[in-house]
Each structure stands twice: as C-alpha cells, then as structure tokens.
Amino acid sequence: MTAPKVPEVVLSSSSGQRKMPVIGLGTAPGSISKGTTKDAVLEAIKQGYRHFDAAAAYGVEQSVGEAISEALKLGLISSRDELFVTSKLWVTDNHPELIVPALKKSLRTLQLEYLDLILIHWPITTKPGEVKYPIEVSEIVEFDMKGVWTSLEECQKLGLTKAIGASNFSIKKLEKLLSFATIPPAVNQVEVNLGWQQQKLRAFCKEKGIIVTAFSPLRKGASKGANLVMDNDILKELADAHGKTIAQICLRWLYEQGLTFVVKSYDKERMNQNLQIFDWSLTEDDYKKISEIHQERLIKGLTKPLLDDLWDEE
C-alpha cells in the first residue's frame, strides 16, 4: 500500500515559508502505548508520516531523535529536511533568559541542528526547576509574555527554529501577543475535537493568519471515563454510513475545517487508518449531525487547583 500524499500548509511567519504536513504523530505520554516512542516514530516514517510533535515535558525528545537518525541510516528519508519536527518549552523555562538555552538543550537531546517549530507549551510561568505535573499554584510566577516572545523571535533569527508559536493561548492572550510581536505566531496548538469545536478561537486565528493545530483530536489522552467522541452514537452512525472508523470521521472533519492535527497512536494499523482521510468527504447532513454534539473542554488546565483565568472564560 503506497503512503498517501499528506497535504501541507505554509507557515506564513516562518523562515523560508516552511510547509507543515497537516497530520502529525503526537508523542505525549499518558495513554497506554504499545511499544516505544522510538519504534512508533520509525514505523510512522515508514508509513508516510513526516510531522512529529514532541515537547520537553514529555520526556520523549531523545527517542524521537534516535528514531530520526535511525531513519536516515536506513535510508527511509534522505535528509532531516524532509521532516517537520515540533517541540515545546515547558513552563519552568518561560523566562526570557532561559528560552534560548532551553531550545538549545532540546536540540541537543533531539540530535538536531534546528527545529521546524517551537511552541510555548502553556501561557504560564513557574519557578525554574524540574518538570512536575500537576503544577502547584504556589510555584507560579508572572508570565513575561513580551520578554519570552522576544527571546523566541531571537531563536528564529538565530536559525535554531524555522517557526515559533503558541499553545493553549486564548483569543485574549493571542491579541496581547500580536500587539507587540515582530514575528507573529505561526501556530496556536490547542484542544480541538468534535466534543470541543472551538469555533470562535478558530475564526480568530484564521483572520490573523495563525494555523491552528489540534491536540486531543480524538479526545483521548487525559480523559477518564466515557469519551464524548469515540463513544458517541452520532459518530458511530456516521462511521458506519461511510464505512470508516470514528477516528477517521473525526480527523476528516478537522481536515475539512482547514486545521492541522497531531494524533497519538503507536498502533501500526490505527496509524495507517489515520492517514486514510484525504480521498473522501463528509456531507452536509453529516455536518448537521456533528453540530449537535455536546461541547465540553477535556483538558481544563495543568495546575492544582485550576486557574480561573487560564482560558479567559472563552
């Protein structure tokens, strides 16, 4: 089976107009994974994935880097430039003077010369130190957004990354960021799935030329109990009607919305199914049914207790 051609989007504020494949393999820990991150990334490269989403806090950068160097050795790719690699800086490094060293550390761990995209993982700063989760509110200090962003712009100018972006930013926080950014964010990576469709935020980003990348596109991951998407009767019905999996319906919807998305599956077969979404379409009737799905945010925050103003009531 030949790997499908994965469509790409241009990151408008990136160096050299870098293109990002719309689907990426997520590497966040938490769900029960079959096999290791290294094996999963290698398998994904074999299947045609070219976009990999990591983060300093996931503890996977070394495995992702090892998989990339193995893929080069095996001739699965002829150059690192064929891949799009994202990482994210953790809240302990959200200090203007720590951004460049933190990114250089990620690059060393990944064994890469540059990243395609670096994101501010959360719009929160804590005292420097180890990655802890959840975060105690007592650890939080003021987030110097302008200072941090200026340091990220410096990373792009230095060639350490091709593009810079945000993650978990509300409209209000993006507006603040855009008010002083000389290099605007290329991407805002946020939760988007059929149970949390984020129309307002998506419309804002579209208007500002910011690409939205959806995490938890199948609403798995941190959820305990029923999955509003994968256990949804409406979606089961649509999947049956199209002869597709529920996951394929979810990902096709995201694609039709003009979004990019990172999906975590280390299962070989599901990895392949998740790529088979580019040669069919949802109908108007499907959209009507999809609009009736109950909406509720899955990932509510990362602090204990939760912060009142993290999402700015959006």
Binding residues for substrate: 121
For residue 311, the Cα-to-chain-centroid distance in whole angstroms is: 18
d(CA 177, CA 166): 9
Residue 58 annotated to the active site: yes
The Cβ-side half-sphere exposure at 115, using a 13 Å CA radius, reads 33
Please report how many Cα atoms fall inside a 13 Å half-sphere around the Cα of residue 68, on the Cβ side: 25
* Position 126, amino acid: T
What is the sign, positive or negative, of the torsion defined by CA atoms of 111, 182, 255, 195?
Answer: positive
Report the DSSP pairing between strands 19-21 and 8-10. Answer: antiparallel
Token couple for 16: 């050299």
Cβ neighbours of residue 93 closer than 8 Å, sequence gap 6 or more: 56, 99, 102, 128
| Cα 273 from Cα 116, distance rounded (Å) | 26
User: Which one is catalytic: 49, 58, 114, 255?
Assistant: 58
- Please report, in range form, the residues annotated as the binding site: 121
Q: Which residues are catalytic?
A: 58
